[in-house]
Structure 1
Amino acid sequence: MSVTLRTRLLVNAAVTMICFAAVIGFTIVNMMKIQASNEDEVEALLSVQAAKAELNTLKESITSYSYTLADAQKESVRTYMKNSSDRLNALQKTMTDPAGKAAYEKLAKKYETWQTEAAAALNTKSPAEATRTAARINGLLNDIYMLNLESRSRYEQMQKQTADQIQFIVYSAAVLTIVLLAVTVLSSVRLTKKIAGPIRLMAENARQIAGGNLAVEKLDYKGKDELKELNDSFGIMTEQLRTLIKAIGEVGREVETFAEGLTKENQTLTEMTEQVSVSTEEMAKGSQTISEDLQHAVLFIEKMDEHAKANAERSKQTTASSEDTISAVAAGRSALAETKQAIDKSNETSKEISKAADLFIKHAAGISMMAQTVSDIAGQTNLLSLNAAIEAARAGEAGKGFAVVAEEIRKLADGSAKATAQIFDMVKQIEGGITSITGAVTTGVALGDRQQELMEKTSESFAHIEQKAAHIKAELSHLDGQIRESKQLGEQVLQHAESISAVVQETAAGSEEISASALEQLSSFKNMTQSVNALRSLTERLNDQVRRFTL
């Protein structure tokens, strides 16, 4: 009898423990499967985002190459093309479902075609072809987008299935636990029917314990049979159950406290991740804008460098012209000095001519006086010839010869009078001409003096011009040095701008990768929050079950 009872109890306990172990094993196995499936889907999403970021970086690199057509930029494009190929190869390993494989095959074929065309476009060094090649990446990005939608859809479906599986596991564990408890109670009740007296009391205690009352008193059984062992074992079991319930209650409270803290930390991390995602997106956009501005700035700096070269050449020409101007000013001053000497000699000559004209006027006046004397003599001679003619007429035949002489004398007097009149006219004309010459000479002397004053002012102006030209030459030399220095600084700025452009492009690519990782991390945090909430719900239910027991 005792053996049978002991065997039944052992079998009952063993079956119960095995069932509980099976429930726990069932829960653990299913949770590990869920975790493995989630890791595969997360890896697929990360691979899609990485491929998208790599293609965006490749597009930006080709766009930059279309602006510069530099060999270094072309090598950078080829490096990004290789990286993109590696990313797509890595993406293939994560595509396990038929739809994902089909989408990947479509993307791979397009990329192979594009890669061939891109290599040809790079060899042509045509900005239009480079821009067209960069635009064709949008088609690849569209396929990446569709692949991302497919992965996200699959991931969301997996999350839904995971939630359903977790719910199924929870309900199954609860049902199995309740069933096991019910089986244990029924087995105990069945055993009590076969045992009289103390067994009924122990059964009563067992019913109270099953009802949650663990504060039952131990049965005072004096026997030494299996009932004694049963009673002692029942008492020990009650105490252990009480200890187990206490431990479960403490563990439940600790789990609840831990879940609350984990929920708060998860919320904080979620907010921080959202802020990081927004910041990285803004930083990526800002980096892209800066990169484009830097590309334009590089073009402007190159144009400035060309203008600086032209200005330097013009500055040299202007400096040479200023030297020619100084030489011309010196030659002008020398010519002015010679002109001044010639004007001085001309003024002296004009003054001598004026003096000679005055002297000539005096001589002309003397000639006029002499001509007047000759005119007076001719008048007297004419009177004398007239008187002689009268006397010859009185003398008759004897005076005819004298009359002829008197007539000749009269003719000579008339000729002298006419010659004297002509002399008077000539003297007047000479006096008029001398007066004109004297006026002209006086005017020439005044003009010479004025020219001399103007020449002195002109000489002073040439000296001032020579001084200013020398100052302009010095300033142009200084300006030429400044232009050369500005040209060197412009070349340094161009080098730094190109370096900054490359760094900004790398920063933009890194920001996009960080943004994608942050979004995936945010999704993981949300999933973790859901899991923690489910854990808290289970903990509350466990605490409710523990509170049913009276210790």
Structure 2
Amino acid sequence: MKFKQKILMISLIPLLLSACIIGYNIIQLTALKSSTEEIVDALVKVEELNSAAKSLQKSLSAYSLNISESNKNDIDSDLSNMKSLHDSLSPSVTNKEQQVISQQLFHKYEEIFTETNKALSAQNIAEIKRQSLRTKGMQNDVIELKRSITSEYLMMQEDLQTKINGIISISIILVAFLLIGSILATFFFTNRIVHPIKQITKNAEEIAKGNLAVRLASVTTRDEIAALQNSFEQMTVNLRDVITHVSDSSNQVAASAEELMASADETMKGTELISSSIQLVSDGADQQTFMSDESARSAEESSNAVTQIAKQANAVMELSVSTNEKTKQGAEFVQETVSQMQSISTSVDETDKALIILNDRSKEIVHVLKLITDIAEQTNLLALNAAIEAARAGEAGKGFAVVADEVRKLSEQTRNSVSSISGIASEIELDTEKTVASINDVKERVNAGLEIARHTEETFHDILVSVELVKEQVSNITKVSNDINDQMVQVSTHAQEMSNVAKITADSSNSVAAASEEQLASMEEVTAAAVSLANLAEELQQRISKFTV
């Protein structure tokens, strides 16, 4: 799983779970509201039916006192109103007791309707009064129906309260699990991200101190951090090989320099011997011939020694070239490491942006919760207005006042639940900000590792410069050795001529002495070059001694 995918998973899962919890609460509250509205509507219709029955009684009484067309129209209107109210109430009557009461009420209504129409047609005042009294029976049935529906409403309210408590309990439990799970998941994934980076930083600091013997812990992930650690481990192995080869090469250069100085000393001794032989030439031809043979032999040995020096210088040159290539490879690996560190820095920046987006989403959730709170407050205000209107209605509005009070309590509970969820959303926002701070710390550590890798690249550049200097000095040594070899061939030729022609040798002694002095000066130059090569080898050893392989 990629680094960016881990961060997105940490961010999106808590948001999705929070949205599910909020959706669950909204669905449950909507269902409870629907069931409450049905029974409240039934109570309102029963109250209207009771008012219509009372109005019918008043209209009948008024007609019995004053027979008029307007009073008759009032009676017809009240009878029609009761019929329509009863028809609209019938679908809301659910249990058997209420259905029986409703049938009794309708039966009484039909009788009153029939008898009243007959009495109105005959203008029978006595019958009108009797029917007015019979409306009391309808009112009793309405009151009984109201009592049954109110009892059902109270039972529903108890069940509603139980369901609301259950919703609140489930919400609290789910939110607690969500909070704990989010914290644990954030801690787990953050530790999985930060721990390898800290380990890489620690190892980079050790390498910067010169300790190349560090060993990296194995990584089982397949993200960018694992790629960085694998590249870092490969760089360490290659760097260790380069330092080992450079150390071996510098040791060989030092040994070759010592051998070169020894050969130069031997050559100088041979040259001094040739000078002594030239001084003895004037003492006699025999002695001159003997010394000429000795000079030829010494010249041959010197020539062999110079040839050996040239071969060793060539070997040192090859080692210098190999060391140069290894150093360049090490520099390339360091450059790859710098590139990988820069890639990690880019990934961390993208993660930082994703967390900022998550923080914005958390703020949007808080805004939605505020909107729900506003709706709950408006519902509470509507319930308060309904209670006031019910109080104005007097006895007829008591049942509706109870309903309004329950609606107000429900809105307050909704507001409290939303407040709790809002607090949790704020905690999620705070955790997101902490994660952003942790990512910023990771960015600082990645930048520190990048700086260390760049310092290592500079160190390799210094090593490369030193190797180039060694290569140049060895090239000079090779050139000087070839010059010495040519001179030794000339010395050998002169010695042979001195052995064959003694007289010519005596005449040429001054020339040979001059050549010996030139050879001695050349050997001093060889000795100085050998000392310089030894010093360079020692300096290279000091540079690589700070690395622990």
The verdict on a shared fold, with TM-score over 0.5 as the criterion, is no
TM-score using structure 2 length: 0.44
Q: Quick check: which has more Rg, 1 or 2?
A: 1
TM-score using structure 1 length: 0.44
